[in-house]
Homo-oligomer: A and B are copies of this chain.
Amino acid sequence: MDSMTWIAVASIVIAGITTGIGTMAPAVAEGKAVATALTAIAQQPDASPTITRTLFVGLAMIESTAIYCFVVSMILIFANPFWNYVISQATGK
């Protein structure tokens, strides 16, 4: 197994793991936030615009952590500097 293969394998594995694990917490957190929003609306229907607005800001914040993971994952698959270096070495050699 040469260098290139190791780097490719590592990139594949970590790209999957990062997205797979990194989206767990945001999903759970969003589920909790949405659930509480529904409870809050049921309890105080008059405040539903404020609740909905706060909910969406919060969901955006939480989603951002999932985005970080997805971004790292995409960088590792499509813009991996280590892979590019190795390819350029293999090509230029």
Task: Please give the residue numbers on chain A whose beta carbons come within 8 Å of chain B beta carbons, in ascending order.
Answer: 1-48, 50-52, 54-55, 58-59, 61-66, 68-70, 72-73, 75-78, 80-83, 85-87
Contact = CB atoms under 8 A, between A and B. Distances in A.
A82 to B, nearest CB: 4
B42 A43 contact: yes
A38 B33 contact: yes
A6 B81 CA distance: 15
A70 B70 contact: no
A13 B15 contact: no
Given A22-B24, A38-B55, 9 more contacts: A1-B6, A12-B76, A24-B25, A34-B36, A38-B51, A41-B42, A41-B47, A45-B47, A82-B83
